[in-house]
Amino acid sequence: MLATLSANWFILKTCVSERLTYRADFAFATLVRFLPIVTQVFLWGAVYAGDTSRSLNGYTYRNMVAYALLVMVGRAFSSMPGLAAGMARDVRDGTIKKYLTQPVDMLAYLFWARVAHKLVYYVVATGPFVLVFYLCRGFFDQAPDVATIGAFVYALLLAFLIGFLTESLIGMISFWFLEISSLVFIFMMLNYFLSGHMVPLDWLLGLFSGNERLQELVRQGMALLPFQYMAYFPAAIMLGKLQGSDLARHLVVGSAWVLLLLAANRIAFARGLRRYSAFGG
């Protein structure tokens, strides 16, 4: 147990050091990601035609800008760029052998490497995040209470875990298929829509407003999928869209998805190794 903790701590420190090697480039790339905020403000201003009192699918202009800011925070936790593709490359060129010949668990190593990435990212991004939310404080109706903040923090943890485990599970498919870039693209498209990254899931339900039964089926289906926990769920908590028993139910379902995806990753990795044939360096 102590040996495992020591190894994980060493992996974390090493990966943090790697991220800080090119810290200027990393910081610039991080700061550039805040530029779309300006686009979001003007975009939704055009959608609402400057009418701040107008409501579309339960969201005013102020709500939509606040939602876009909160989704950016959720996506910063759940996005795992290059994880699945990197795993597929390791399997394809034989680099994965280093996890098989050394006493290092591949999933644990990749997990702590992503934790290191997020730690360095937020060291750089905390200042800009605070500044942006301060300048945009007028878009939020009221300050959240302690319980809401606690649920929001837990939702961000779920976003990170579900994002990591989903991407790594897709990467495991490379044990059976040589090329998974198409699957990664399909996942990205589904994630973009079903996570609430593009628009709130409430807006997608509005497409079925003429059929209440179908709308309810779609709502229940999206509630059972893991996608919403990567963006929509944390934002909905802070905007007061989910409260009480509904919030508790979503927290339980999100936690269940973490356990299910973890088990699926372990099973896929174990079975994938049975099919693996080492090639390359």
Please determine, for residue 54, whether its predicted confidence score (pLDDT) is greater than 90: no
Residue 171 within any structural domain of the chain: yes
Residue 235 within any structural domain of the chain: yes
Q: What percent of the chain has pLDDT over 90?
A: 19
CA distances from 221 to 153, 205, 226, 227, 250 (A): 25, 11, 10, 11, 13
Task: Collect all residues with Cβ–Cβ distance below 8 Å to 154 and sequence separation of at least 6.
Answer: 251
Is residue 97 within 8 A of residue 265, CB to CB? The reply is: no
**Domain count for the chain:** 1
Q: State the pLDDT confidence band at 209, using cuts at 50, 70 and 90.
A: low
Nearest Cα residue to 87 out of 207, 170, 30 = 170
SS3 200: coil
Ranges 80-84, 209-213, 254-258, most confident: 254-258
Q: What is the pLDDT of residues 62-109, one digit of tens each?
A: 888 889 889 988 888 898 888 888 888 888 888 888 777 777 788 888
- Mean pLDDT of the 205-232 span: 78
Residue 172 within any structural domain of the chain: yes
Element (H, E) at 126: helix 106-135
Residue 230 within any structural domain of the chain: yes
Please determine, for residue 280, whether its predicted confidence score (pLDDT) is greater than 70: no
Q: pTM of the predicted model, to two decimals?
A: 0.87
pLDDT of 167 reads 93
Is residue 71 within 8 A of residue 198, CB to CB? The reply is: no
Q: What is the pLDDT of residues 109-168, one digit of tens each?
A: 889 888 888 888 787 777 777 887 788 888 887 778 888 899 999 999 999 999 999 999
Q: What is the pLDDT of residues 34-44, one digit of tens each?
A: 677 777 777 87
Which domain range does residue 44 map to? 2-275
Q: State the pLDDT confidence band at 261, using cuts at 50, 70 and 90.
A: very high
Residue 163 within any structural domain of the chain: yes
pLDDT of 258 reads 95
Q: What percent of the chain has pLDDT over 70?
A: 87
pLDDT of 59 reads 82
pLDDT of 206 reads 67
Report which of residues 139 and 233 the model is more confident about: 233
Element (H, E) at 152: helix 146-172
Residue 280 within any structural domain of the chain: no
- What is the rounded average pLDDT for all residues in the chain? 82
Crossing angle of helices 23-32 and 2-21, in 10° steps, is 80
pLDDT of 163 reads 94
SS3 216: helix
- Mean pLDDT of the 193-221 span: 76
Q: Tokens for 55, please give them.
A: 């409501």
- Round to whole Å and give the CA distance between 38 and 46: 13
pLDDT of 208 reads 65
Residue 204 within any structural domain of the chain: yes
CA torsion through residues 31, 33, 38, 41, sign? negative
Residue 203 within any structural domain of the chain: yes
pLDDT of 152 reads 93
